[in-house]
Every structure is written in C-alpha cells, then in structure tokens.
C-alpha cells in the first residue's frame, strides 16, 4: 500500500449493514407519514383510481377501517379528500358549507372507528365548484380572493365542528390563514391546528389527484393566477412568512421531490414544522416505473421518502404511507 493513501477511508462506515445503520444521519418512521384518503358516495364500495395504481376512493362506511389500519401501523394522521357528486357542484360551491357533506361525514366516521388518529381536512373549493377552481370566480373567470377567503373560513368552521383536528387551506388565497385562525378562536376551536399549504406551486404533477376528486375535467383555464410560479424560490419564503405571521401552526410545500430545495430553505429560514406532499404525479411515476421493470418498487418508495427527511421535512403526505410503514416494520 502506498504511504500517500489517506488515513481516513469513508468506506469503512459502509462495510456492513450494522455500521451503515449506526451511522445513518436520517431515518424514516411511520410517524413521519400522513395518509391521504379519497372519499366517494355510496355504500360498501371501493373505487380504484385508474391514474393512481393501488389507490382507491372509499365510501364513508368503509373509510374508518382504512384509518384504523393506518393507526395500527403507527401512522398518526389521515388527510381526507372528497369526490363530490357532480349534481352538488355549483358556481358558488355551496356544498362546501353543508355540515352533512361527504367530508364531514367521513371525519365523523374516522373518529368513530379510531378516535386516536388525527384527521386533516382540505380547505379549498375545487371539490365543490362546477368550474374546478379553488375559489369563486367572476364573469371573466378570475378567481376572487376576498370572497373566496370568506367561503374558506366558513368551510373550515364546518370541518372543525365535524371533528377535524387540522384544517389545511390549500387554495393560496392571500390572507385566508388569518381569517381562519380568527374564526376558529372565535368559535372556541382553539385546539384545531392550521397546516397552511404555504408554498403550493402551479404544477404539472397534480393530474391524477384531480382525476381522483373529480375536478380535472371541469377545470376552465389554469391556476397560475393564485398558485405559485415554479420558477420562483424566494417568493416561497415570503409566502411562508406571511402564513406563519397569520397563525399557521405548520406549513407545507407542494409538490414534493421537485421542490426539495424549497423544503430545505423553509426549514432553515423558519425552523417551524414543515411538511411536504408527495403528490399524485410523483406516486404514479414510481408505480409505473416499477411496473415497467425500471426499478425495485420497495427501494424506490423508501429512497424517495428518505429524500424528504434529508431535506428537513417534519412529515410527508404520501399515498405510499401504508406500504412504507410495513417496510419499516419489516
């Protein structure tokens, strides 16, 4: 051996599984995950979602069992998303304020089946509008900020009354976090947390999700007047700062893997609980790649989720939560 070889060989720390485990800087745990669940009308039904292999919509009578299965694997929270029937979708999104709507019934069903698990609800109007936008629109199709914020505030109160533990405004309207926080305090719902979709980008990765909630084919135009431009990073920090100042308990970056630079910057800058959503397009890419023989599915799942942790996430919303938890448990 030449005397010039360096004394430190980093490969010594990779030589065996035990030492790799001992020196690992980041680890995944089921408590890192939030499981998104889709809800549909009906009884005793599971509706597979073609664009999301392995993911289904569940009727209210079956959603509790899905949540309980997640809890038993150590997953602490589920996120609920409704596929509202077309007959209830209107220009004014009135169904969002119905205390007996699909999402409210699902919240109650989850809490009845598994009182211990956390329930996160999506505060946005796109599951309820005829036009597929996250807010109310004017005659020209422009999404109205303040009028939408008022609707979102009322929607959040309805969800909180149903038993939601976290309300998550995903609409990107200016000022809506402050309005929701004030309304929750005024209604005595002080312990209902707000997870703000603080940096939500106008992404091409949302297509399968829109199919899952039935809003994709309805969308008129795009969402670039309210969701963020993928070119912008500094703007994300301004958005996060505003939501924290307005009372957000937690913030989210969406999508996930293509925006891990934003996740890391948010965590460094603010040090607040920071979540990321591994969105439907990301999930679908992994599933289709594995199905085509392009990679080993389990390894792809764990490697991508570990990348979220390495970037600084507190937790990850992922359709792979159940699979990942089982892999972690071994």
What is the Cα–Cα distance from 114 to 54, expressed in whole angstroms?
Answer: 23
Q: Which of 111, 200, 223, 309 is catalytic?
A: 200
Reply yes or no on whether 223 is catalytic.
no
Reply yes or no on whether 111 is catalytic.
no
What is the Cα–Cα distance from 251 to 272, expressed in whole angstroms?
Answer: 8
Of 86, 162, 90, 166, the residue nearest 125 (C-alpha) = 90
What is the Cα–Cα distance from 265 to 268, expressed in whole angstroms?
Answer: 5
Q: What sign does the CA torsion over 251, 180, 156, 192 have?
A: positive
The pair of three-digit structure tokens given for residue 300, joined into one six-digit string: 């792809």
Q: If you search the block for the tokens 């020209």, which residue do you land on?
A: 140
Residue 287 neighbours by CB distance under 10 Å: 21
DSSP type of residue 205? G
CA atoms within 13 A on the CB side of 301: 19
Judging by beta carbons within 10 Å of its beta carbon (0-12, 13-18, 19+), is residue 156 exposed, middle or buried? buried
DSSP type of residue 42? S
Q: Which of 189, 223, 254, 309 is catalytic?
A: 254
What is the Cα–Cα distance from 31 to 328, expressed in whole angstroms?
Answer: 11
Q: Which residues are catalytic?
A: 200, 254
């Amino acid at each position: 051996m030449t005397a010039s070889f360096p004394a430190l060989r980093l490969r010594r720390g990779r030589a065996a599984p035990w030492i790799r485990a001992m020196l690992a800087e980041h680890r995944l745990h089921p408590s890192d995950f939030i499981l998104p669940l889709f809800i549909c009308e009906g009884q005793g039904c599971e509706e597979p979602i073609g664009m999301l292999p392995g993911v289904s919509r569940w009727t209210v009578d079956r959603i509790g069992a899905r949540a309980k299965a997640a809890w038993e694997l150590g997953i602490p929270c589920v996120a609920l998303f409704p596929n509202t029937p077309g007959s209830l979708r209107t220009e004014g999104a009135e169904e969002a304020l119905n205390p007996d709507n699909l999402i409210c019934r699902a919240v109650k069903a989850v809490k009845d089946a598994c009182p211990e698990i956390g329930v996160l609800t999506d505060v946005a109007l796109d599951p309820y509008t005829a036009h597929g936008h996250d807010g109310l629109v004017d005659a020209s199709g422009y999404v109205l900020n303040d009028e939408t914020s008022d609707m979102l505030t009322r929607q959040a109160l309805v969800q909180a009354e149903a038993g939601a533990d976290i309300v998550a405004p995903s609409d990107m309207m200016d000022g809506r976090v402050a309005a929701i926080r004030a309304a929750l305090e005024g209604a005595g719902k002080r312990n209902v947390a707000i997870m703000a979709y603080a940096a939500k980008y106008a992404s091409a990765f949302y297509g399968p999700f829109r199919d899952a909630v039935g809003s994709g084919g309805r969308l008129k135009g795009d969402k670039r007047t309210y969701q963020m431009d993928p070119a912008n990073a500094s703007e994300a920090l301004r958005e996060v700062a505003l939501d924290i100042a307005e009372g957000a308990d937690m913030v989210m970056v969406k999508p996930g893997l293509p925006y891990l630079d934003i996740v890391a910057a948010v965590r460094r800058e603010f040090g607040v609980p920071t979540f990321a959503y591994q969105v439907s397009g990301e999930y679908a890419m992994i599933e289709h790649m594995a199905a085509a023989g392009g990679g080993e599915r389990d390894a792809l799942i764990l490697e991508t989720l570990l990348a979220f942790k390495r970037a600084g996430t507190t937790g990850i919303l992922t359709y792979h939560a159940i699979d990942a938890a089982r892999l972690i448990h071994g």
